[in-house]
Amino acid sequence: MNGAPTDDARDVRTTAAALALGDDALILSHRLGEWAGHAPALEEEVALANIALDLLGQARILLSLAGDEDELAYLRDERHFRNLQLVEQPNGDFAHTIARQLYFSTYQLALYRQLVAGDSAFGALAAKAVKEVAYHQDHAEHWTLRLGDGTPESHRRMSRACETLWRFTGELFQPVEGLDIDWAALEEGWLTSVTDVLERATLGLPQGPRTGAWTAGAGRQGLHTEPFGPMIAEMQHLHRSHPGASW
């Protein structure tokens, strides 16, 4: 009544933001989990699973802020997921996975750093997660350097991966309801960091549009790309086959 948000309004905002961030972590974790047993080296089996586990841990905390973690993960349809289109993109080759990691972890790191400082329901989570995400960013950065500045073949693949995924990065800076973030500063910081890594990797910045044309912001509105449906069909199948069961 006096202009300050009521508890209910604050809850709605918190839920919306928790879903957006939680879905990002959940879906990317799932994609990384698909690498198990297929990675290019044993050390990468360990590293990719490690990152997937960190993200799944974050997803569980975030989804629990919004409701029941399993209900939210397993019983929502495609149109109700709020993750970025970037994180649902198929793994592709190792370069695509690394480009996706570079773009996302750089974003997540900058976002969580702001959340650590800010006064929101996500401060405690961000304080814990920021350490994990700094490692994810480090891993992605070093692989971007190795692949970009490795062999002609790896350079070609890394370059193609960065360009293919570039169009999904515009959505990263679409403001999320419930997050008090300086989005312009986030975007600027992200661009500076990514540009620096790509240049050191002898890759250069992709030239295509970063907004993804009219689909900008689509993931956050529950409008996903086609590979997403089959992915969650696989993820949810067993849970949905046994309604009400506990595991």
| Footprint on this chain of other proteins (rule: CB under 8 A) | 26, 30, 33-34, 36-47, 49-50, 52-53, 56-57, 59-60, 63, 69-70, 73-74, 93-94, 131, 134-135, 138-139, 142, 145-147, 149-151, 153-154, 157, 234-235, 237-239, 242, 244-247
Distance, CA of 139 to CA of 100 (rounded, Å): 12
Checking phi first, is residue 3 left (phi over 0); if not, alpha (psi -120 to 50) or beta? left
Q: Cβ of residue 133: shortest distance to other proteins, in angstroms?
A: 11
Short-list 67, 73, 71, CA closest to 25: 73
Q: Cβ of residue 185: shortest distance to other proteins, in angstroms?
A: 17
Nearer to other proteins, 74 or 183 (CB): 74
For the beta carbon of residue 144, count every other beta carbon within 10 angstroms. 24
Nearer to other proteins, 26 or 216 (CB): 26
Nearer to other proteins, 12 or 53 (CB): 53
Are 91 and 97 a contacting pair, CB within 8 Å? yes
Residue with the two structure tokens 């370059």: 159
Q: Cβ of residue 58: shortest distance to other proteins, in angstroms?
A: 11
Short-list 78, 82, 108, CA closest to 169: 108
Q: Cβ of residue 20: shortest distance to other proteins, in angstroms?
A: 17
Q: Cβ of residue 31: shortest distance to other proteins, in angstroms?
A: 9
Sign of CA dihedral 219, 224, 230, 233: positive
149 exposure class (CB count in 10 Å sphere: 0-12, 13-18, 19+): middle
Nearer to other proteins, 77 or 153 (CB): 153
Distance, CA of 15 to CA of 5 (rounded, Å): 14
Q: Cβ of residue 1: shortest distance to other proteins, in angstroms?
A: 39
Nearer to other proteins, 131 or 221 (CB): 131
Q: Cβ of residue 121: shortest distance to other proteins, in angstroms?
A: 20
Terminal C-alpha separation, the chain = 45
Nearer to other proteins, 69 or 177 (CB): 69
Nearer to other proteins, 3 or 37 (CB): 37
CA distances from 39 to 9, 33, 132, 197, 238 (A): 45, 11, 21, 23, 26
